[in-house]
Amino acid sequence: MLQGGAGRGLPRDAAAAGTSGGGGGGGSGGRDRIGDLPDELRHHIFSFMPAWEVVRTSTLSRRWRHIWASAPCLDIHYPCACDDEDDQGWYAEFVKHLLLKRRLSAPLDTLRLHWNHHDASTWIAHAVRRNARAIELSGEHHRKLEPEYSIFLYGNLKILQLSHLHMNNDTLSQLCSRCTSLEELELKNVELSAMYIRSTSLKRLTMVRCVNRNGLSVDAPNLVLLRCIRPHNFIPGIENSGSLVTATIMLDDNCLKYTTCPTCANAEDPGHSESQSASDDNRI
């Protein structure tokens, strides 16, 4: 049974897979209109919902009872549990059972993971084994750990979005050079210790409020789009730019002078961070 924690916003019996519950959707003797929705539309709806809410939809109708187990997009997003091991533990257990109960034949196209504890590497590996096309990993509001980036190397990723993480030179170099299907890389609020990005497959590169003390050279002959917004301590150098169509580089003098500039110093405040992120995102 998939269970959520009482009082935490998750259902206690988060619509357990395989239970005999589930509403009729259309009322007694009436047409089950919500159950008549095509699977493609239901999966599209699921792509806007966190995973635990997707599981709860199994109570809506008999035809919805198991559809969550084939959702192609998983959004595993939970507030920080860094200081509460019990809180962290029950949610990790929920996700573990969620993945185990997915249909083996169901493709997993996208994983959005806002969680930066050791379980994250296991969940990412699961998505990679299922040939996920896109993975988003954020460590925002969590302790900054370095996940096992090597797990990204064995799949067929086309889109990788990373935020609020650390990356060293070897990590970034291997990701770009060995992920031969990678076409889009987005780095936001990432602390880099990298000197090179080299890739023959990369077409779109976005870096927003990233910190790098070593400078950065980008060598991607098929790159068509580059966005670099408020870089800290570096300005990227571009090599082999013959395919480049669009480049947006927005510099802030304070960001270039300081590792943590006065403009971005309040980013630890969630309200300021969201407002600043929205502002920067609108510029690109």
State pTM to two decimals: 0.75
Q: Please state the domain extents for the chain.
A: 158-284
Give 45's contacts (C-beta < 8 A, 6+ positions apart): none
| 103-135 pLDDT tens trace | 777 888 999 988 766 778 888 888 888 889 999
The DSSP code sequence of 241-267 is -TT--EEEEE--HHHHH-SS-TTTGGG
Six-digit token pair at 173?
A: 């170099």
pLDDT band per the 50, 70, 90 thresholds, residue 65: confident
Supply angle C-alpha 185, 189, 193, rounded to 5: 80
| 212-229 pLDDT tens trace | 877 888 999 999 999 999
The DSSP code sequence of 99-163 is HHTS-TTS---EEEEE--STHHHHHHHHHHHTT-SEEEEE-TTS------GGGGGGS--SEEEEE
DSSP 6: T
% of the chain exceeding 70 in pLDDT: 71
pLDDT for 33 equals: 74
